[in-house]
Copies of this chain bind each other. A is one copy, B any other.
Amino acid sequence: MIYPFFKKTTLIATSALLAAALHAQETADTRPNIILFMVDDMGWQDTSLPFGTEKTPLNERYHTPNMERLASQGRMFTQAYACAVSSPTRVSLMTGMNAARHRVTNWTLEKNKSTDRKSDVLKFPEWNVNGICEVPDVPYTYEVTSLPQILKNSGYHTIHCGKAHWGAIDTPGENPHHFGFEVNIAGHAGGGLASYLGEQNFGNRTDGKPSSLQAIPGLKDYWGKDIFATEALTLEAIKALDKARKLRQPFYLYMSHYAIHIPVDKDKRFFQKYRDAGLSEKEAGYASLIEGMDKSLGDLMDWLEKNKMDKNTVVIFMSDNGGLSSEPEWRDTPLHVHNAPLNSGKGSAYEGGIREPMIVKWPGKVKPGTRCNDYLIIEDFFPTILDMAQVEERKTKQPIDGVSFMPMLEGGSYEYNKRSLYWNFPNLWGNEGPGIGPTCTVRSGDWKLVYYYETGKKELFNITNDIGEKKDVSIQNANIVNDLSRDLGEYLRSVEAQRPSFKTTGKVCPWPDEV
């Protein structure tokens, strides 16, 4: 008698037998699932959820019911910081290093090409234009052990969905799979997107070739369809979660939306509502990007509840830099006010460039409906997420600058604001505006010092009293300026930070405590 291959009847011999033995074993790894919901270019006020002390006109303008829902179940962080542009933030998240150390200080895209805007005055350093990677000897990269790699090694199922932006095209860091992500949906070297529209194949030509370096890869099933990228990514993420549920490993989902990066395409599901409310075409489009992103958050929360996994899943909401406020092609004028009461926006050392909307929901651990006003910074996510995942084996190639904010989650007293936070941006970003330029910055307690490499100028703000950074009080507080300058200079030297140099003399710009 011959049995054809794959015939159903050959497969049932011991299945009933096995089934009985399985139940007890299948939930052995009870560590929490973790969803890091990372939004791109979302400002601190791009939400109906007030992160400031009162509801602002921008909070009235936008509708983010699912962020409100998440906040009601978790803890808001009102002083959560990132870098002023994308790659530095995302590299710090992946590595636990401050950008001054990892030297991916501006945004990355093409191999061996700097994205620095040209300056007549300054020459910019040879920063890591190729980003990070996990292999040695790749020029202009920092070799690291990444967060998802460690999570994967510890038994997590690791899912990347959306924007990656960790390494230049044709370098090992361009691909999330090279960092231990087991699933990669639409992630590559690009940090922006050519189009949100399925009708436009998200920027790909119909012959399958990208029309731009920023065409979204990997969403071919949605090409030619009436669907927004935010929704397509969400549908794909949910497919990956459906699979993750079957694998019965704890999962780490890095849900990294391309939204709300330019282009400000209209998310038709929400656009007209904002027009009806009186917003301009541009600003109604921007609001629709936000609400589409918020719907995705809600869809994931619904999935968790439907699958009874909400109780054992941490959801972290974060953005990678401030809202874009310097670009008249995409935002209404006047510019630099789109993150009010914060000054300026993406690319700036001011709060508008670096302060982010952040929420953490963790049933049983984080008290619902609470706020934390202590500050933290993006590299702190690395040790914190490893703490959440109970990972003990966390040997890394790079030193870790971040500090776990687990105590802040648990709400106990914690003197967090006694440490300083540091930024270094020895680069020149594409646009101009307040606080935008080659700078280094320190935040310490209430105070913030910004040092401009080109001019040697220093600005001092009392962030607690002057969140809008309208009033430079450096003249009145020479001692504080000196203390912070020394603090910043010492830190930057300790991590071998880079600086620009002057074209005329060839001399490197002074450290902040040298002027």
Query: Using a CB–CB distance below 8 Å, which chain A residues touch chain B?
Result: 1-7, 10-15, 17-19, 21-22, 25-26, 28-29, 109-118, 124, 126, 129, 135-140, 155, 157, 170-172, 175, 177-178, 181-183, 192, 208, 212-214, 220-221, 243, 246-249, 262, 326-329, 430-432
Q: Tell me the minimal C-beta distance from A395 to chain B in angstroms.
A: 12
Question: Which residue in chain B gives the minimum CB-CB distance to A123?
Answer: B14
- Complex: chain B residue closest to A154, CB-CB: B135
**Can you report 27 A-B residue pairs in the complex whose CB atoms are below 8 A from each other?**
A2-B432, A3-B117, A3-B431, A5-B192, A5-B262, A6-B192, A6-B212, A10-B115, A10-B118, A11-B110, A11-B114, A13-B118, A14-B124, A14-B126, A17-B126, A18-B139, A21-B139, A22-B139, A22-B140, A135-B155, A135-B249, A138-B248, A157-B172, A170-B247, A177-B181, A177-B183, A208-B221
Residues of B within 8 A of A109 (CB): 6, 11
Q: Does the CB pair A5–B430 fall under 8 Å? A: yes
Query: Which residue of B11, B126, B192, B327 is within 8 Å of A113 (Cβ)?
Result: B11
Instruction: State the Cβ distance, A155 to closest chain B Cβ, in Å.
Output: 4
Q: Is the CB of A126 within 8 A of B192?
A: no
Chain B residues contacting A178 (CB-CB under 8 Å) are 157, 182
Q: Which residue of B lies closest to A246 (CB)?
A: B170
Tell me the dominant secondary structure on chain A's binding face: loop
Measured between alpha carbons, how far is A246 from B168 in the docked complex, in Å?
12
For A329, list chain B residues within 8 Å (CB): 4
Closest Cβ of chain B to A88, distance in Å, is 16
Residues of B within 8 A of A12 (CB): 113
Contact A136 B28 (CB under 8 A): yes
A118's nearest neighbour on chain B, judged by CB, is B13
Q: Are B155 and A2 in contact (CB under 8 A)?
A: no
Distance A249 CA – B134 CA, assembled complex (angstroms): 11
Closest A-B pairs by Cβ, 4 of them: A28-B137, A170-B246, A3-B430, A14-B114
Q: Is the CB of A327 within 8 A of B2?
A: yes
CA distance A33 to B282 in the complex (A): 52
Q: A2-B328, A22-B112 are in contact. Are A117 and B10 (CB under 8 A)?
A: yes
CB-CB under 8 A from A1, the residues of chain B are: 432
Chain B residues with Cβ under 8 A from A430's Cβ?
2-5, 7, 10
Residues of chain B contacted by A328 (CB below 8 angstroms): 2
Q: Are A114 and B13 in contact, with the CB atoms below 8 A?
A: yes
The interface centre, meaning the residue of A10, A21, A111, A116 with most chain B CB atoms within 10 A of its CB, is: A10
User: Cβ of A19 and Cβ of B112 under 8 Å apart?
Assistant: yes
Give min CB distance, A25 to chain B, whole Å: 5
B residues less than 8 Å from A212 (CB atoms) = 6
Least distance between A103 CB and chain B CB atoms (Å): 13
Which residue of the partner chain B has the closest CB to A1? B432
A353 to B259, CA, bound (A): 55
Contact present for B139 and A26 (CB under 8 Å): yes
Q: Is the CB of B136 within 8 A of A13?
A: no
Q: Report B-chain residues with C-beta under 8 Å of the C-beta of A246.
A: 111, 170
How far does the Cβ of A496 sit from chain B's closest Cβ, in whole Å? 18
Which residue in B17, B28, B29, B182 is a CB contact (below 8 Å) of A177?
B182
In the bound complex, CA of A115 to CA of B14 (Å): 9
A408 vs B170: C-alpha distance when bound (angstroms): 37
List chain B residues, Cβ under 8 A from A214.
6
Contacts A2-B326, A182-B177, A430-B5 hold; do A137 and B29 have CB atoms under 8 A apart?
Answer: yes
- B15, A112: Cβ atoms closer than 8 Å: yes
- What is the distance, in angstroms, from A188's C-beta to the closest C-beta of chain B? 12
Q: What distance in Å separates the Cβ of A133 from its nearest Cβ neighbour in chain B? A: 9
20 new A-B pairs (CB below 8 Å) besides A18-B129, A111-B246, A157-B172?
A1-B432, A2-B326, A2-B328, A6-B212, A10-B115, A10-B117, A11-B109, A11-B110, A12-B113, A13-B124, A14-B116, A19-B112, A21-B126, A21-B139, A22-B139, A22-B140, A28-B136, A29-B137, A177-B177, A220-B220
Residues of B within 8 A of A327 (CB): 2, 4
Name the distance in Å between A161's Cβ and chain B's nearest Cβ: 14
Cα A361 to Cα B270 in complex, Å, equals 61
Q: Which of B6, B7, B116 has a CB less than 8 Å from the CB of A13?
A: B116
Chain B residues with Cβ below 8 Å from A172 are: 157, 247, 249
